[in-house]
Structure 1
Amino acid sequence: MPNALAYLMLLAWPLASLYLFRRLPLERAILWCLIAGYLLLPPLAEFDLPLVPDMDKFAIPSVMAFLLCAYVLRKPVPLLPRHPVAKALAVLFVFGVIPTVLTNGEPIQFRKIANSEPIIFLTDQLPGLRWRDLGSVIINQVIVLMPFLLARRYLSTPEAQRELLLALMLGGLAYTVPSLIEIRLSPQINIWVYGFFQHDFAQMIRQGGFRPIVFLPHALWLAFFMMSAVLAAAALSRAAQGKDRLRLALAAGYLFAVLVLCKSLASLAYALAFTPVVALAPLRWQLRAALLLAVIAVVYPMLRNTGLVPTEALVAQAEAISAERAQSLNYRFENEAQLLARAAEKTWFGWGGWGRNLIRHEETGQILSIPDGRWIIVFGTFGWLGYIAEMGLLAAPLFLLAAAARRAPRGSVSPYAAPIALILAATLVDMLLNATLIPITWMCAGSVLGYAERLLYPDLFRPKPALFGGAQALMPDSAGPEGRSIL
Structure 2
Amino acid sequence: MNSLVLYSWFPIVLYLFRRFPPQRALIISFVSAWLFLPLAGFKLPGIPFEYNRMSATCLAILLATCLYDVERLKSFRFHWFDLPIVVWCLCSFASSVTNGLGAYDGFSSTLGRTVEWGGPYFLGRIYLNNFAGLRQLAVGIFLGGLAYIPFCLFEVATHINTHGLIYRFTVGAADLRYGSYRPSVFQRNGLVLGTWMMFASLMGVVLWKTKTIKQVKNIPITWLITALLITFILVKATGATFLLLVAIAIVLTALWYGTGSLLWLFLGATFVYLYLGVVGDFPGQEIIDFLGQFVPPDRLQSLGFRFMNEEMLSAKAREQILFGWGGFGRNMLYKEGGYAITVTDSLWIIAFGQNGLVGLISVFATLLTPVFSFWFFYPPASWSHPTIVIIAAFAVGLAMHAFDNVLNAFYNPVFILGSGGLTGILLNQKLQSFPARQSVVR
Same fold, TM exceeding 0.5? yes
1:11-50 pair list within 5 angstroms:
11-47=7-43, 49-50=45-46
Partner of 2:99: 104
Which residue of structure 1 lines up, in the alignment, with residue 107 of structure 2?
135
Is 2:227 the partner of 1:254?
A: yes
Among 144, 149, 152, the alignment partner of 1:171 is: 144
Aligned to 2:119: 146
Matched, 1:335 2:305: no
Matched-pair contact (CA < 8 Å) for 1:187–1:210: no
Alignment match, 2:437 = none
1:203-222 to 2 correspondence within 5 Å? 204-222=175-193
Amino acid in structure 2 at the alignment position of 1:60: A
Distance 1:394 1:241, change over 3 A: closer
Q: Structure 1 unaligned runs (5+)?
A: 106-128, 461-487
Query: What is the Cα deviation at residue 296 of structure 1?
Result: 3.2
Separation (CA, whole Å) in 2 of partners of 1:323 and 1:80 = 54
Counterpart code for 1:135: F
1:302 alignment counterpart: 275
How far, CA to CA, are the matches of 2:139 and 2:320 in structure 1? 44
Q: Is the 8 A contact 1:234 1:248 kept in 2?
A: no
**Distance in 2 between residues matched to 1:49 and 1:29, nearest whole Å:** 29
**Which of 202, 207, 212 does residue 231 from structure 1 map onto?**
202
Larger radius of gyration: 1
**Residue pairs, 1:274-313, within 5 angstroms:** 274-278=247-251, 281-282=254-255, 288-313=261-286
Mapped partners of 1:22, 1:135: distance in 2: 34
- 1:348 aligned to 298, 313, 322, which one? 322
Could you tell me which residue of structure 1 aligns to residue 438 of structure 2? none
Find out whether 1:54 has 2:32 as its counterpart.
no
Q: Within 5 Å, which residues of 2 pair with 1:382-397?
A: 382-397=355-370
Which segment drifts farther, 18-27 or 294-303? 294-303
Between the aligned partners of 1:92 and 1:102, the Cα distance in structure 2 is 15
Amino acid in structure 1 at the alignment position of 2:36: L
Cα deviation for residue 157 of structure 1 reads 1.9
After TM superposition, the score normalised by the length of structure 1 is 0.81
Q: TM-score, normalised by structure 2?
A: 0.88
What amino acid is the match of 1:388?
Answer: I
Note the alpha carbon deviations across 1:40-87, whole angstroms, 9 max, x for none: 111143335445211122322122223322444324236976542x23
C-alpha displacement of 1:428? 0.6
Question: Is the helix fraction higher in 1 or 2?
Answer: 2
Write the distance in 2 (CA, Å) between the matches of 1:324 and 1:71.
57
Q: Distance in 2 between matches of 1:97 and 1:176?
A: 38
> Does structure 2 retain, via aligned residues, the 8 Å contact 1:340–1:380?
yes
- For residue 65 of structure 2, the aligned residue among 65, 69, 72 is 69
Q: How far off is 1:307 after superposition?
A: 3.4
Sequence identity of aligned pairs in percent? 26
Report the AA paired with residue 384 of structure 2. G
Q: Is the 8 A contact 2:13 2:60 kept in 1?
A: yes
Partners in 2 of 1:39 and 1:67 — Cα distance?
A: 22
Distance 1:236 1:349 in 2: 42
Q: Counterpart in 2 of 1:436?
A: 410
* Distance in 2 separating the partners of 1:366 and 1:192: 34
Of residues 336, 355, 359, the one that matches 2:333 is: 359
Q: 1:236 to 1:447 in 2, by over 3 A?
A: same
- Contact kept in structure 2, 1:21 and 1:29, CA below 8 Å: yes
392, 398, 403: which one aligns with 1:424: 398
What root-mean-square deviation, in Å, do the aligned CA atoms of Structure 1 and Structure 2 show? 2.7
Amino acid at match of 2:107: G
1:148 shift after superposition: 1.2
Report if the CA contact (8 A) 2:288-2:304 is conserved: yes
> In the alignment, does 2:6 pair up with 1:10?
yes
